[in-house]
Amino acid sequence: MPTFFEKKQLVTPGELLAEGDYVAGENTYAEGNKIYASRIGLVDNDDKKVNVVALRAFYVPKVGDMVIGTVVEIGFNGWTIDIEAPYQALLRASDVLSRPFKPQNDELSQVLNAGDLIVAKIASYDRAHDPQLTVGEPGLGKITRGQITKVTPTKIPRVIGRKGSMISMIKEETGCQIILGLNGVILVTGKNPEDEELAIMAIRKIEEESHTSGLTDRITQLLKEEKAKREESKK
Amino acid sequence: MNEKPEKLIDKKGYRLDGRKIDELRPVKIEVGVLSNADGSAYIEQGKNKILAAVFGPREMHPKHLSLPDRMVLRCRYHMAPFSVQERKSPAPSRREVELSKVIRESLEPSLFVDLYPRTGIDVFVEVLQADGGTRCASITAASLAIADAGIPMRDLVVACAAGKVDDTVVLDLMDTEDKAGVADVPVAFMPNLNAVTLLQMDGILTPEEFENAVNMAIEGCKKIYDLQKEALKTKYMNVKEEVEE
């Protein structure tokens, strides 16, 4: 039962990864007893499961995911939201108003207008239906301040870091609040725009160098240096 | 230029452009050349210059074209007015409509179409300069663009043609050989799965010659496949190097 790769090897779609008693994991598929890659990425296996960490992918909705989206259209009883996925999401008016929605009393555009950004959770999604969003939990709803940056959705776990080490470090160093949408959209809210820019710069750096080791330490250092530089220029 | 040369293969067995019978034209491939597309690729095969762009998967527009159980692949093959000797009308010709269909059908088997129902992928192929065998080069580039867009696929699709000029079966016909030759056999192929996704024949060949041509084209495909993989890896190479540190 051989495998045909070294750990962390770069593979292209269609490359034969393993043969025999293996299970196809992420971004791979099985044909008979052979396992092939289905996306460009780095291979790895934990025991019998062969995974490819994709270098390029798009966001696929999953129930319970927190996402950041843009209102694109106001409908009869809700909004259409772009969540940077193959499907557009729906947000129902009754969910936002937390009471029955009456078209004669409520003007939807006064609650959320086209172009507004929202933080939401995916309430339901399956093959046959577009994802439905909910904002009925604390911390969700319309975004009123802060800055947005986008990364490839596959790199969100790297921004979080091991047990959240990376993200909590950035929060601490910059004093910003950071909300990660699993669809690759990140909201940074700080006391002033400079802090926000610092955090965004760190996130950009993570995206560029997402596959290097010891990244958390280097980002810490980068932030410290950058902060010192800014202190200096203020004087 | 447009006159038919007397002999397409000289006494020593070399072709008009100095190639051997089973030699490909020089191929250059680049991935991720367009920033606004989700995935893109550029290929030069001899004098062919072709750009492929992929958008999606995204909601289908118009919506009624989407299918409830599968993803729809749409393809547009288009030749730029300046891509050929005589200016070509930019309106899609009969030939372009046919080639769009042919390219679509040769790419579709490589995709997991049932994974993302109700969505669509759009593939745009723009021929900037044409010199015979554009459908094959287009398939090669389009498949790379799909991989670059991060769309899961069974294998990259490569295509290459073989044909008969004078009395010999040769690989990778260029424009003059195609027009003055006897037959042309384009083949699209998924090397890892050993599956042919496109097989056409234009002209007359004996069964033996046909078999010979198909095998020759598949050998050509395998050579281009290596370049294709190389090109895709080059775009993501910096990542690999960092890992190796």
Encode chain B in three state secondary structure: CCCCCCCCECCCCCECCCCCCCCCCCEEEEECCCCCCCEEEEEEECCEEEEEEEEEEEECCCHHHCCCCCCEEEEEEEECCCCCCCCCCCCCCHHHHHHHHHHHHHHHHHECCCCCCCEEEEEEEEEEECCCCHHHHHHHHHHHHHHHCCCCECCCCEEEEEEEECCEEEECCCHHHHHHCCEEEEEEEECCCCEEEEECCEECCCHHHHHHHHHHHHHHHHHHHHHHHHHHHHHCHHHHHHHHC
Mean pLDDT of B203-211: 96
Q: With a cut of 80, say whether residue A211 has pLDDT above it.
A: no
How much is the ipTM here? 0.89
CA-based end-to-end distance of chain A: 66
Q: With a cut of 50, say whether residue B244 has pLDDT above it.
A: no
- Range of B180's domain? 27-57+71-234
Residue B175, domain member (yes or no): yes
pLDDT digits (tens, 9 = 90+) for A149-176: 999 898 898 899 888 889 999 999 899 9
Q: How far is residue A10's CA from residue B154's CA, in Å, rounded to a whole number? A: 16
| Mean of the per-residue pLDDT values of chain B | 93
CB–CB of A153/A57 below 8 Å? yes
Report the pLDDT value the prediction gives residue B55, as an integer from 0 to 100.
97
Among candidate residues A32, A25, A5, A27, the one with its CA nearest the CA of residue A16: A5
pLDDT digits (tens, 9 = 90+) for A222-235: 888 888 888 888 77
What pLDDT band is residue B245 in, cutting at 50, 70 and 90? very low
- Percentage of chain A exceeding pLDDT 90: 57
Mean pLDDT of B133-139: 97
Report the pLDDT value the prediction gives residue B238, as an integer from 0 to 100.
65
Q: Which domains does chain A have, with CATH numbers?
A: 10-54 (2.40.50.100), 66-142 (2.40.50.140), 147-234 (3.30.1370.10)
Residue contact A12–B233, C-beta within 8 A: yes
Q: With a cut of 50, say whether residue A1 has pLDDT above it.
A: yes
Q: Between the CA of residue B32 and those of A14, B5, B127, B150, what are the distances in Å?
A: 19, 39, 17, 11
Residue contact A15–B192, C-beta within 8 A: yes
Look up the CATH number of the domain holding residue B170.
Answer: 3.30.230.70
Residue contact A86–B149, C-beta within 8 A: no
Q: With a cut of 80, say whether residue A87 has pLDDT above it.
A: yes
When comparing pLDDT for B139 and A165, which is higher? B139
Mean pLDDT of A67-78: 94
Q: With a cut of 80, say whether residue B3 has pLDDT above it.
A: no
Highest mean pLDDT among A41-45, A74-78, A84-88: A84-88
CA-based end-to-end distance of chain B: 54
CB–CB of B218/B174 below 8 Å? no
Q: With a cut of 80, say whether residue A86 has pLDDT above it.
A: yes
Q: How far is CA B191 from the centre of its chain?
A: 14
Residue contact A14–B192, C-beta within 8 A: yes
Contacts of A88 in chain B (CB under 8 A): 59
Residue contact A57–B191, C-beta within 8 A: no
Between vectors from CA B39 to CA A51 and to CA A91, what angle results, nearest 5°? Answer: 80
Residue contact A87–B118, C-beta within 8 A: yes
| B206/chain A closest Cα distance in angstroms | 34
Residue B224, domain member (yes or no): yes
| A125/chain B closest Cα distance in angstroms | 12
Mean pLDDT of B62-79: 96
What pLDDT band is residue B1 in, cutting at 50, 70 and 90? low
| A178/chain B closest Cα distance in angstroms | 26
Mean pLDDT of A119-136: 94
| Mean of the per-residue pLDDT values of chain A | 90
Mean pLDDT of A14-30: 93
Chain B residue at shortest CA distance from A154: B150
CB–CB of A104/A62 below 8 Å? no
Residue B4, domain member (yes or no): no
Residue contact A87–B119, C-beta within 8 A: yes
Q: With a cut of 60, say whether residue B191 has pLDDT above it.
A: yes
Contacts of A12 in chain B (CB under 8 A): 147, 156, 229, 232-233
Residue B188, domain member (yes or no): yes
Q: With a cut of 90, say whether residue B193 has pLDDT above it.
A: yes
Of B154, B156, B236, the CB nearest to A55: B236
Residue B125, domain member (yes or no): yes
The total of structural domains in chain B comes to 1
What pLDDT band is residue B2 in, cutting at 50, 70 and 90? low
Sheet strands (E) in chain A: 10-11, 16-19, 23-24, 28-31, 34-37, 41-46, 49-54, 66-74, 78-82, 89-92, 117-126, 129-134, 141-142, 147-150, 177-180, 185-189
